[in-house]
A and B are shown apart, each in its own frame.
Chain A
């Protein structure tokens, strides 16, 4: 449904909180499992919402509740496990976003959250770096992107802040570009005019700033006649797929693809051939934003299974039940220790799978898994699915 204003964007949080039947199924929340106090339990958060928003609640009680409520809401990784299992069909993620917004209004964001918000607002990327540096990844990998930048094309590759700026994600964007070039796909990039998709801003509860980002990106894409948009970042993918239609309504008519979907399409059309054989055992970690938010489940598996003689093994918790890496929902900014605790469960599953390569479709997952694997001393290579596809194409 089209949301023209921030009021339309909102849901009646109190009404939904009252619908909770207290079954406790949402106890599978990965951060509640670590923190263990029921104040962090999704149903406990709904109880706090009832206390906070009920008319006539004394200011003193509200203040007391807000302290615990805002603390709990920022301990959420937005993995959507709670909403997916909710027996009362409560739109929990929308509620969590709204409470984050309420916390912003009350001036209760922590400094690092506020700093991120200001960085994104001022520099249009999450690192606070100049827009001119958005193409540094290309220079570093020896790719010349001049002829691809801001050129009219039906397909645009949206790089995303992490792939553009972070050294750890240095291989993601070059891999996608090489896949597109090798398959002779006509594509363009926005270059220095690419702005953050707005995901961190929306996750933090900032509606109006997020909307201005959405408008800018849409205008830029329209100028180039873009009909389809591909990205290798699950956060950007979710924002384009779910948030932009809510914010921009019918004017957002661009088809959004994850790189695994596009690769799958190219494989089926015979344009992309995976010929390199892997000796290593491969597993795939479903990013929450792909699997639970956008229900993108089979495309990455189809791609991996197209690799000749591939030894692919699922993680014990996979598809809709995939574990959260702990890095989502801006948790890293609020409690990096908690990220590590949540992540350790996933790392144990990776260890159990005895995989040599963990492929992934999300830079945030990639980062947290890399850290977890390193901390546990596992001999596992963690790569983005774009990198895996490129290697399977025979590129070294």
Chain B
């Protein structure tokens, strides 16, 4: 326990049993989805001093008040289903578990919006919305576990983003407790965008108004391509027919998909396209446009039998990981145009070990999930090297302008690359005005300094390591 005595007594006084400091709890809250090699954890302090289960706006205000007073770093955590280190502590302090937030939910059918608490898990919210004839516009592939608040803080894209955009496009209003303790509501896009992808560094989200849509049935079509070049041409053609979702796999991943789920898909690049269809004429039109798009790109149409129930496996990709002993995962956002070279490079670098799964997130970009799968348990050193290699490939390619999926801890320092320089400047100004003591999730978004060498930033160190070692 390294929490200062004064700070501890203040937190205990105000939050009582909502604060836990036992070893087991701290250990559990010291990781997110990525099981980090022990070597990496030498450079930062991921085991917190305590965990607070916050349940209300008042709790968050109290936490900020005491944290400011005692200079205690706080790190917000929702479902902890991302693997970028955004919800683990960089320099100890307290983890604030926002899953404890009291849940409320109110649909406004006229505006087609829903007001929800950030602790709602997407699948729970979707179930409720469907009962009222509505549906989420877009949602993450970790739909069964990720929370609304977590997705916003992470800055996500996902299924449905091809048509409805990422999380930023879904938010109508956001309520936040700033590190100053003030409760504010923002409706302007300029303000909302600051909180998307900022990992709680600018405040803690306490309520969100999301745009929803009518629950229109989806029709699915599938196609296959022989090469990355054909695949990319295919994606360029397919986005023109305004799909709801475009999901694709590389041949290695298709083989694993077949093995895991008992399918018999052709071992080529396979893409599954979904579109909202209201009536039969629309469906016929979708089929016609889809067939033309695939043929123009030189692909083949997949038998409809394959695509009927394939949708349900959208949320089960990670179950393919059970087929291997160890794995390393990373995600990158790529422009559709000319990214076939990048895919080819990835495949040649990792020779058969790399499995790719992509989701188109806009008419021009897609998110590419990269899995490195191994039949043996990797040593800590090898895992670190693979992480660095993947890191280098994710952000180091100059020909293809790929960006990390989000910043978190591992890609801290890349905010400007993801959101643009102007946005970074605005972010820094806002951060300075609301959190001058840097207590709200330090070490994230902006690259922190190394623990043992405080003149070097984490971004620089990781980049240097990835270049030198490889």
Contact = CB atoms under 8 A, between A and B. Distances in A.
Interface in B41-90: 51, 53, 79-81
Contact of A24 (B22, B35, B142): B142
A352 B131 CA distance: 10
Contact of A38 (B29, B33, B316): B29
A27 interface: yes
Interface stretch (A82-90, A183-191, A264-272, A291-299): A82-90
Interface string B78-116: 011100000000000000010110000000000000000
Contacts of B319: 87-89
B133 to A, nearest CB: 13
Given A24-B81, A51-B27, 9 more contacts: A22-B33, A23-B145, A27-B79, A27-B121, A27-B144, A38-B99, A67-B22, A68-B24, A89-B322
B318 to A, nearest CB: 5
A238 B100 CA distance: 34
A28 interface: yes
A44 B26 CA distance: 11
B53 A21 contact: no
Interface string B3-47: 000000000000000001011110111011101000000000000
Contact of B35 (A22, A27, A28): A22
A316 B128 CA distance: 9
A354 to B, nearest CB: 13
B33 A37 contact: no
24 contacts: A21-B318, A21-B322, A22-B31, A23-B145, A23-B318, A28-B144, A36-B99, A37-B20, A37-B51, A38-B25, A38-B29, A39-B25, A44-B28, A47-B27, A48-B24, A61-B23, A69-B24, A85-B144, A87-B316, A87-B318, A87-B321, A88-B322, A317-B127, A352-B131
Contacts of A36: 53, 97, 99-100
A36 B78 CA distance: 11
Contacts of A67: 22, 24
Interface string A58-71: 00010011011100
A19 interface: yes
Nearest to A52: B24
Contacts of A24: 33, 79-81, 142, 144-146
Contacts of A64: 22-24
A278 interface: no
Contact of B28 (A28, A38, A88, A317): A38
A27 B124 CA distance: 11
Interface residues of A, number: 29
B291 interface: no
A37 B23 contact: no
B123 interface: yes
Contacts of A68: 22, 24-25
Interface in A142-172: none
A25 to B, nearest CB: 5
Contacts of B127: 316-317
B318 A27 contact: no
A51 B24 contact: yes
Interface in B312-371: 316, 318-319, 321-322
Interface in B142-184: 142, 144-146
B81 A23 contact: yes
Nearest to B35: A22
Interface string A299-314: 0000000000000000
A37 B144 contact: no
Contacts of B53: 36-37
Contact of B97 (A28, A38, A51): A38
Contacts of A352: 131
A81 to B, nearest CB: 11
Q: Which of B22, B25, B145, B322 has the most CB of A within 10 A?
A: B145
A316 to B, nearest CB: 6
Interface string A119-141: 00000000000000000000000
Contacts of B79: 24, 27
B180 to A, nearest CB: 27
A297 B25 CA distance: 38
A23 B28 contact: no
Contacts of A27: 79, 121, 144-145
Q: Which of A37, A44, A88, A352 has the most CB of B within 10 A?
A: A37
B363 to A, nearest CB: 30
A225 to B, nearest CB: 42
A334 to B, nearest CB: 18
3 shortest A-B CB distances, which residue pairs?
Answer: A24-B145, A87-B319, A68-B24
